[in-house]
Amino acid sequence: MIKIIAGGKKHVSWVEEACADYEKRLRQPFNIEWQIVDEDKLEQIVAEWDFGPDTVVIVADERGKNISSPELADKLNKIFTSSCEAVIIIGGAGGMSDEARERADFVWSFSNLVFPHMLARVMTVEQIYRAQEISNNSNYHHF
């Protein structure tokens, strides 16, 4: 399972619909669990950082590394085969702190472009679904 911690307001209706569409297609270990928290609480979670050594933390941030969808699939599969838990943290409108980026195991950028945090949530779930389909050799992802 992949835990997604997102800062900001709860999903608005179009985000809820888009995420739900991909979520219903996800199968273990690619299934997800959401934790949506106020932005100030997100920084508190980072400050108190209670993730254990068997947790791989990925922070979504525009200042991170831009990787391909197959590279993300490979990264997630390595996490799963090592029996670790994957946690993806998506900042709110204010982005993520330097501390969060420094403490993460990987800082992931979707693009050199900046996206609204609500859209980043949809993109995250779609990329998790795409990673699942790449891992299953389906034709969803066209190489």
Q: Residue 130 falls within a domain, yes or no?
A: yes
- What is the pTM assigned to this prediction? 0.93
- 50 belongs to a structural domain: yes
- Please report, for the domain that includes residue 36, its CATH number: 3.40.1280.10
- The reply to whether 142 falls in a domain is no
Does residue 61 form part of some domain?
yes
CB of 86 closer than 8 Å to CB of 114 = no
Token pair 């472009």: residue: 113
Return the higher-pLDDT residue of 21 and 8.
21
Helix axes 13-23, 117-135, angle to 10 degrees: 10
- Exposure string for 31-47, b = 16+ CB within 10 A, e = fewer: ebeeebbebeebbebbe
- Residue 6 in any domain: the answer is yes
Q: Is residue 35 part of a domain?
A: yes
17-34 average pLDDT score:
97
pLDDT (mean) for 86-100: 88
Q: Indicate the number of domains in the chain.
A: 1
The pLDDT of 76-89, averaged and rounded, is 95
Query: 140 in a domain, yes or no?
Result: no
Residue 115's identity, in one-letter code, is F
> C-alpha angle with apex 82: 45 to 136, nearest 5 degrees?
105
What's the pLDDT band for 91 if we cut at 50, 70, 90? Answer: confident
Flag the least confident range among 13-17, 40-44, 59-63. 40-44
Q: Which domain holds residue 33?
A: 2-135
Cβ neighbours of residue 73 under 8 Å, at least 6 residues apart? Answer: 130, 131, 132, 134, 135
pLDDT of residue 51: 84
Residue 143 falls within a domain, yes or no?
no
What mean pLDDT comes out for the span 56-79? 95
